[in-house]
Amino acid sequence: MASLTDYLRLVKFSHTIFAMPFALMSFVYAWKTCDVSALSLPLLLLQVVGCMVFARNVAMGFNRWADRRIDAQNPRTASREIPAGVVSPRAALWFVAVNALCFVVLASTINNLTAALSPVALAVVMFYSYCKRFTSLAHLVLGLSLGIAPVGAYLSVAGEFAAAPCILSLLVMTWCGGFDIIYALQDAEFDRSHSLHSIPSRFSVRTSLVISAGLHAVSVAALIWFASYLPQHWPLYVGCGLFSSIVVLEHVLVTPSRQCNIGIAFGTLNGLASTVLAICLIADMAIFG
C-alpha cells in the first residue's frame, strides 16, 4: 500500500513553491486594497492555501495517471510512482477524486464566486494532461493552470474580479510556460518519436530557447505592470530586480550547447525567483501599503 510520502512524490509536492508565492502576493494585495475584516483573514488564508494544495494534487495526480503509459516508455520518467508500481493507477485516481472533492467543498465555503468557478478551475488543470497529444502550446496551458492561483486568491478575499491579479496571472502563465519549454528540452527526441507535441519537439533547441526567452520577456513586462499597482518603495524594486535577474540567469545557464543545467534552472532558480519576489512584494505592501 502506498504511503503518504509516495503520494507526495507522485504530485511533486515541493513544486508547490512555483505558484503558491503568487497566490500569497495576490491575497495580500486583496487585503490591502479591499474593505475586508482583518478578523476574517486568517481563516481565508487557510482556505486559500488548502484550495491550492488540493487543486495542485488533482492536477499532478491526474497528469501522472493520464501519462502512465507514456512515462513507462520514457527512460527519464519510467521510475515515477505509477509506472514503477509504487502507486497503482486505481489508487492514483482515488487520490485525484478525493482531492477534487475537497477542493470543491472548501472553495464553496469561501464565497459564491469561488464555489461557482471551482469546477472550471479543475477542468483547466486536468485538461492540460491531454494537451501534448494534439498541441505544442501545452506549455501555455500548464502556465494557465498555475496562473489560476493568484486570481483565485484575490477572488477569495474580494469576491469580484480586478485587473491587478489578472496581470499577475499573465506573469505566472508566461513565466511557467517559458521554463516548461526549457524543461521539455530533455524529452524532445522522445516526444518526436512518439508523436507528442511540444515546442522543443517541433522546433530546434535554439528556436525553443528563443520562444522561452520571449515568454519570459512578457513575464518581466507583466511584473512591471503589476508593480505599478503597488507602493513604490525599495522592497518592490529589489524584488522586481532579483526576479528579473534570476530569469535572465536561467537563460545564461541553459543554451543550445549547454543543457546539463536544466535541472538547476527549472527547480532551484524558479523556486528561488518566486520566493524572493513574494517576500519583497509582500513586504512592500505590508510596510508601505
Query: Residue 16: what pLDDT?
Result: 78
What are 162-192's pLDDT values in tens digits?
999 999 999 999 999 999 999 999 999 999 9
When the pLDDT of each residue in the chain is averaged and rounded to a whole number, the result is 95
Query: Residue 91: what pLDDT?
Result: 96
pLDDT greater at residue 151 or residue 37: 151
Residue 116 in this model has a pLDDT that exceeds 90: yes
What are 54-99's pLDDT values in tens digits?
999 999 999 999 999 999 999 999 999 999 999 999 999 999 999 9
Question: Mean pLDDT over residues 228-246, rounded?
Answer: 97
Query: Residue 267: what pLDDT?
Result: 84
Residue 15 in this model has a pLDDT that exceeds 80: no
Domain ranges of the chain: 4-288
**Predicted confidence band at 3 (pLDDT cuts at 50, 70, 90)?**
confident
**Predicted confidence band at 35 (pLDDT cuts at 50, 70, 90)?**
confident
Q: What percent of the chain has pLDDT over 70?
A: 99
Residue 123 in this model has a pLDDT that exceeds 80: yes
One DSSP character per residue, the chain reads: ---HHHHHHHTTGGGGGGTHHHHHHHHHHHHHHS---GGGHHHHHHHHHHHHHHHHHHHHHHHHHHTHHHHHHSTTTTTSTTTTTSS-HHHHHHHHHHHHHHHHHHHHTT-HHHHHHHHHHHHHHHHHHHHTTT-TTHHHHHHHHHHHHHHHHHHHHHSS--HHHHHHHHHHHHHHHHHHHHHHGGGHHHHHHTT---HHHHS-HHHHHHHHHHHHHHHHHHHHHHHTTS--SHHHHHHHHHHHHHHHHHHHH-BTTB-TTHHIIIIIIHHHHHHHHHHHHHHHHHHH-
Question: Mean pLDDT over residues 244-273, rounded?
Answer: 93
Residue 4 in this model has a pLDDT that exceeds 90: no
Query: Residue 46: what pLDDT?
Result: 97
pLDDT greater at residue 37 or residue 132: 132
Query: Residue 289: what pLDDT?
Result: 78
Amino acid at 20: M
pLDDT greater at residue 220 or residue 8: 220
Question: Mean pLDDT over residues 49-57, rounded?
Answer: 95
**Predicted confidence band at 39 (pLDDT cuts at 50, 70, 90)?**
confident
Query: Residue 119: what pLDDT?
Result: 98
CATH number of 4-288: 1.10.357.140
Query: Residue 215: what pLDDT?
Result: 98
Residue 270 in this model has a pLDDT that exceeds 80: yes
